[in-house]
Chain A
Amino acid sequence: MKILTPMRALWSLSVLGAVLLGALTLGLTAGPSGLGLGEILSVLADRDASGPAADIVLRVRLPRVLLGALVGACLAVSGVLFQAMLRNPLADPYVLGVSGGAALGGILVLSLGSAIGLGYAAVPPAAFAGCLITTAVLYAIAGANARVSTTSLLLTGVVFNAFASAAIVFLASMAGLTEGASIFLWLIGSLSSIRTEVTGWVAIFLVLGLGATFPLARGLNLSALGGESAEQLGVDIDRQRRVVLIASSLMVGAAVSVAGMIGFVGLIIPHLLRLILGPDHRLLIPASAFGGAAFLVICDAVARTILDGRELPVGAITALAGGPLFLWLLRRYHQRVFS
């Protein structure tokens, strides 16, 4: 009879930390230039490193790997939060259309913002606003005591994603943004054209999101057995919903504004970790941050190397992995929970 103790939580997080470290190493070494681990480590250790190897490591790979880790963590943690808030293991910011809302907010600023003097810096707040609105709409549809409305939720997500994609293409075409990779980035999610100046912002959004929601972890456990039941066990359920809504929107907004609509990370990682570690949110929330970070960095390494000389968007890799898993989960949970 294993009960979650601080020791067990710490041990699990240490293992996941090691996995993340391995993933970061893989992310730094993967690429066409043939740089070895020794060379990479010496560049990282040398403060005054210069030359082609230093350029590749410090200007190309390190920012990309770090941003990938942050985006993966944001998406996985917000997946856990959406699942807990909607009491639905199939919830994921991409599947629910929340990423679509964020992307739409971002592209609105990119395509029309210049007319009113808004630059790229306004993209993350706009993506956050898009997220917040979509999540609030979703929550209104699901209702305060959401349980059987899985079909409504998923259908809303499908319809909203289709709408958001069409609106993104329309707005991007209007503003002449369809050339190059930018439109591709928004629609499928990629880490290839990242803006390093926003790394700090994504990190801040992640820390804020984690900091605000980790104290709610036990309340989220109690909510798994119904909001009313959680209230009767001492949880301020309205406050919990507000905090989760804002924190998850912050994280998805941050992730989408730098890497577009990367799907399924918020579904794959929480589900996998729930299978291994159990559903306790006191462990699942921080574990998902590590797991999501490692997963996206590995997926990006695969995306960069699987086709010789060409690069796939990382969203294609996560969707290829996540699509079948989603269908399997849908079948399984329909049988067990929602029947």
Chain B
Amino acid sequence: MTDAALCIEDVALKFGEREILKGVNLEVPEGAVVALAGRNGAGKTTLLRVASRVLRPSSGRISIRGAPIEGFSRRDLAKELAVVPQDTPVSFPFRVIEVVLMGRSPHLGVLGFESRADVALAREVMERVGIEEFADRSILDLSGGERQLVLIARALTQEPRVLLLDEPTAHLDLAHRVAVLDLVRDFARDGRSALVISHDLALSARASDRLALLAEGRVLDCGRPADVLTPVNLMTAFGIRADVIQAPDGSPLVIPRSAASDAMS
């Protein structure tokens, strides 16, 4: 066991007979952004759910700075770790400011109301995320992309030490994708850390210190994005032939050629 911000050791998970995770090992060091990529169904979201203790692994251990997550109360865990889901069901017309303030819940008493400092923090975060102009709009009236930004603001307002993001840029335009990944980078300063699932390999390679490729329930490779994004790894993880070239700043750019099956035939 290490003192990494988040350490996932030999984690396996079965749903019935189906093995989703088959012994995943992954470390998110303090102050680092780690990107997690892999084909659909590889187990990325499941891994995030296990790491946030929504699912219990069949075997293996997860720890935060050396302490097993089972030892945390739900509230204490929420102070350490925040999750940005892909999307969220919404059933009641909460206003955006109210949703963002929900991030303060782990820090408040059972019957407590948010203080002025909490409201000021929520406003400051909303400004940083660029959603301050729809603070009073109902979350029901937002587009998928706007809603995703609100969920990011809620997680930042939670002030965790580790941020887990499940495709936070899936519904966003290019400008917002860059802005969100910049936010994640900023978050990782001061010794905090982030684990980001993303299908956008070029952007995640740029925004992350490490990149892990998940394939068939295992970490295929993990390291500097330029070392991990190789044609061989891409073939194994995604089943595609691809060229990897270097962008002017040195980060890798993946250019897919065709699906492997097409190439074989």
> What is the interface of chain A, defined by CB distance below 8 A to chain B?
1, 3-6, 9, 83, 87-89, 147, 214-215, 218, 221-222, 224-226, 228-229, 231-236, 274, 278-280, 282, 336-337
Contacts and interface: CB of A to CB of B under 8 A. Distances in A.
Given A87-B91, A337-B90, A1 B135 contact: yes
Contact of B78 (A221, A234, A279): A234
A147 B89 contact: yes
A3 B91 contact: no
Contacts, number: 98
Contact of B110 (A4, A215, A226): A215
Sorted from nearest, which 3 A-B pairs have the closest CB atoms?
Answer: A234-B78, A234-B75, A279-B92
A221 B106 contact: no
B89 A280 contact: no
Contacts of A232: 52, 54, 78, 81-83
B178 interface: no
A336 B90 CA distance: 10
A222 B91 contact: no
B114 A3 contact: yes
Contacts of B135: 1
Contacts of A214: 111
B119 interface: yes
Contacts of A4: 98, 113
Contact of A234 (B77, B85, B111, B140): B77
A235 B113 contact: no
B90 A215 contact: no
Interface string B86-105: 00111111110111011101
A4 B93 CA distance: 15
B63 interface: no
Contacts of B124: none
A83 B92 CA distance: 9
B74 A236 contact: yes
A336 B85 contact: no
B91 A233 contact: no
B75 A89 contact: no
Contacts of A221: 94, 98, 102
B102 A225 contact: yes
Nearest to B108: A218
B90 A225 contact: yes
24 contacts: A1-B97, A3-B114, A3-B119, A87-B91, A89-B92, A147-B91, A221-B94, A221-B98, A224-B90, A224-B91, A225-B89, A225-B139, A226-B85, A226-B89, A228-B49, A229-B85, A232-B54, A232-B82, A233-B78, A233-B103, A234-B78, A274-B93, A279-B92, A282-B111
B136 interface: yes
Interface of B: 49, 52-54, 73-79, 81-83, 85, 88-95, 97-99, 101-103, 105-106, 108, 110-111, 113-114, 119, 135-136, 139-140, 158
Most A CB atoms within 10 A — which of B53, B97, B106, B113? B113
B106 A234 contact: yes
Contacts of A88: 91
B90 A234 contact: no
A280 B101 CA distance: 12
Contacts of A279: 92-94
A117 B143 CA distance: 61
Contacts of B98: 3-4, 221, 278, 280
B94 A235 contact: no
Contacts of B75: 234
Contacts of A89: 91-92
A5 B101 CA distance: 13
A272 to B, nearest CB: 14
B238 to A, nearest CB: 27
Contact of A87 (B89, B97, B110): B89
Given A4-B113, A231-B54, A234-B74, A224 B136 contact: no
Nearest to A148: B89
B92 to A, nearest CB: 4
Contact of A225 (B52, B81, B82, B99): B99
